[in-house]
Structure 1
Amino acid sequence: MTAKGDLRTPEKATRDLPPRLAVIASRIAVEEKRILDELDRRRVPYDVLDPRTAVFHLDRPHAPWSVALAREVSHHRNLTVARILGHAGVTVVNSAQAIALCGDKLLTTLTLQAAGLPVPRCLVTATPQAAVDALEDFGYPAVVKPLTGSWGRQVAKLTDRDAADAVLELREALPDPHQRITYIQEYVDKPGRDIRALVFGTEVVGAVYRVSESWRTNTARDARTLPCPLSPDLVTLVTATAVAISPGVYGIDVLEDRDGRLLVNEVNHTPQFRGAAEVLDVDLAGRYVDYLIQRLVRN
């Protein structure tokens, strides 16, 4: 297997052998730059593989790398390249299976429920209109989310029947049938914050509170980050979540309700960590590279 793309070789890297590591990314944001800088600092050779220009010849079943780090911003491009490289025998962090699972909120919920982990109540319907009718028994307020998406986009709070009619009527008009599948969660009355825990393998390396005056507490929507203590209950829950998905590098979002219960909300397979790095006494880029080097040693 060969691939042509935007391949970058670090000037500082040792070039005695071809790079065994590929970094899949079309955009070098803060997190990717920190990872690449750390790879350079440790003189780990790598190629940056841009999925937008990569060409894979499937009749040549060998890839030049043994490990690949999937950091592509597009979920579908990330998943496609991870599947192709995984089929060629490359260890991808995270695997195509993990990307597919975490990228679909329905699959994530079913997997966590099967593992006996606490998640918010939810309902799923194949059409928005069915969801409007079901909400009468499910209860308001509720939150509607796209099956695939991040950064709080296309997420809406439904406070009553009128709000549900308005929002879900718009979903009914979306052109993609997949977008009309309606995933609704109970609204968890959290204390103005949620928790983002970062896991490498099955080790919880740190957690932060994401604090906002808005009911959506994404850092992409300007939530502030503060250190969150790693309580035994939080560590146990987050570790079990990573095991249920399969060990890898994850940002696991946890909600606290007003009674202090912890509920797993979402699992991010390409976690952003800029906000966490600013407040935690942990070298997150260094831990990322530690994990990659462990995978390289095993391969």
Structure 2
Amino acid sequence: MIHIVPKPTDTPEDNSTGAVMRELEKAGARYRVLNLDAIDPLDTGIQDELIWVCGIRQDGHQFETLNVLSLDNRVVNTPESIVTCASKVMTSALLLRHGIRTPETAYIRSEEQAQKFLLRHGKVVYKPVYGYDGNGIRLVTTPDDLGPGPWYLQEYIPNDRDFRVFVLGGEAVGAITRVSDSLTHNIHQGGIGTPVPIDEEMRTVAEASASAIGIDYCGVDLLRDREGYTVLEVNGTPNWHCMAAPIPSLLAAYLIQCERTMRA
């Protein structure tokens, strides 16, 4: 049995969880929907099962419930990897530790240090540490634009597009480029996604990023600069809008294989 935690932002028109459930049904796999808000993690009776987390709300109860469930079950993605991706600071730290190129980044409480970082780069991008869907990202060009700290700041890299690579089971399986007139090219912010082939550099960088996080599947967001691809962030509960690759069927097959491995 596969237990499924639905993405809370699903809508009838954009239902990521439902797309994968339909593929599971086609494959004859058994599943049930698991409502994290309706269970006591200390008394669930769920043990030695596969739990797929399509998405969760960023609140303490759902994180703690998943943490407890992971003690006796196989959770995809693991709570640890979801929390890591939710924190841009921790994601940056792991990318740097594994030698993966990312824009120069600082996480600063000192206003003086923040101003020095800004002056060194001329323009920087402020991002909420726990932001999602491109919300709250803004360009900072003067100290007056900084606002209240602490600040997660990245050097600004001029661009007219970014790339998202979907990595599943350590393998890059699909990619899109996203284009918009705004600072962030996120589709939720008006970006338009178009499928693109996965070139070898893109594959290497995206797969290394997923490995650094230690995650079953993810969306790796990239920019291209003079030196090649640089990693903006890694999304632990990614959408796969506009992908040409059949992500729902690939995800369903991955979950089925994970469950079979558990039973072997």
**TM-score, normalising length from structure 2?**
0.90
Q: 1:92 corresponds to which residue?
A: 75
One-letter amino acid matched to 1:106: V
One-letter amino acid matched to 1:226: T
Structure 2 residue 258 is the aligned partner of structure 1 residue 295? yes
One-letter amino acid matched to 1:189: P
Q: 1:80 corresponds to which residue?
A: 64
One-letter amino acid matched to 1:81: T
Q: Residue 142 of structure 2: which of 153, 160, 163 is its match?
A: 160
Q: Residue 5 of structure 2: which of 24, 28, 36 is its match?
A: 24
Contact 1:111–1:244 (CA<8 Å) still a contact in 2?
Answer: yes
Q: 1:34 corresponds to which residue?
A: 19
Output one character per residue of 1:121-172: Cα deviation in whole Å (capped at 9) or x when no partner.
Answer: 0111135x345433354322101111111111111110223323xxx1xxx3
Contact 2:115–2:143 (CA<8 Å) still a contact in 1?
Answer: no
Structure 2 residue 232 is the aligned partner of structure 1 residue 265? yes
The Cα of 1:265 is off from its aligned counterpart by 0.6
Q: Could you tell me how far apart the structure 1 residues matched to 2:27 and 2:101 are?
A: 40
SS in structure 2 of the partner of residue 98 of structure 1: helix
- For the aligned residue pairs, the C-alpha RMSD in angstroms reads 1.9
The Cα of 1:54 is off from its aligned counterpart by 2.5
Q: 1:205 corresponds to which residue?
A: 173
Q: Could you tell me how far apart the structure 2 residues matched to 1:78 and 1:288 are?
A: 22
Greater mean deviation of Cα atoms: 286-295 or 136-145: 136-145
1:189-268 to 2 correspondence within 5 Å?
189-190=158-159, 192-257=160-225, 259=226, 261-268=228-235
One-letter amino acid matched to 1:261: G
The Cα of 1:65 is off from its aligned counterpart by 5.6
SS in structure 2 of the partner of residue 75 of structure 1: coil
Q: 1:45 corresponds to which residue?
A: 30
Unaligned runs of 5+ in 2: none
One-letter amino acid matched to 1:239: E
In the comparison of the two structures, how many residue pairs are matched? 257
SS in structure 1 of the partner of residue 164 of structure 2: strand
Output one character per residue of 1:180-200: Cα deviation in whole Å (capped at 9) or x when no partner.
Answer: 43110011112x110000011
The Cα of 1:214 is off from its aligned counterpart by 1.4
SS in structure 1 of the partner of residue 38 of structure 2: coil
Which aligned runs of 4 or more in structure 1 are off by greater than 4 angstroms? none
Q: 2:123 corresponds to which residue?
A: 141
Output one character per residue of 1:243-298: Cα deviation in whole Å (capped at 9) or x when no partner.
Answer: 111141101101112x252101100001101322xxx1x21100010110111011
The alpha-carbon distance between structure 1 residues 131 and 148, as it changes in their structure 2 partners (threshold 3 A), is farther
One-letter amino acid matched to 1:66: E
Q: Could you tell me how far apart the structure 1 residues matched to 2:7 and 2:169 are?
A: 25
One-letter amino acid matched to 2:67: R
The Cα of 1:217 is off from its aligned counterpart by 0.2
The Cα of 1:37 is off from its aligned counterpart by 1.2
**TM-score, normalising length from structure 1?**
0.80
The alpha-carbon distance between structure 1 residues 130 and 80, as it changes in their structure 2 partners (threshold 3 A), is farther
Contact 2:7–2:16 (CA<8 Å) still a contact in 1?
Answer: no
Q: 2:46 corresponds to which residue?
A: 63
Contact 1:72–1:78 (CA<8 Å) still a contact in 2?
Answer: no
The Cα of 1:62 is off from its aligned counterpart by 4.8
Contact 1:70–1:78 (CA<8 Å) still a contact in 2?
Answer: no
One-letter amino acid matched to 2:193: T
Q: 1:185 corresponds to which residue?
A: 154
Unaligned runs of 5+ in 1: 1-19, 173-179
The alpha-carbon distance between structure 1 residues 68 and 136, as it changes in their structure 2 partners (threshold 3 A), is closer
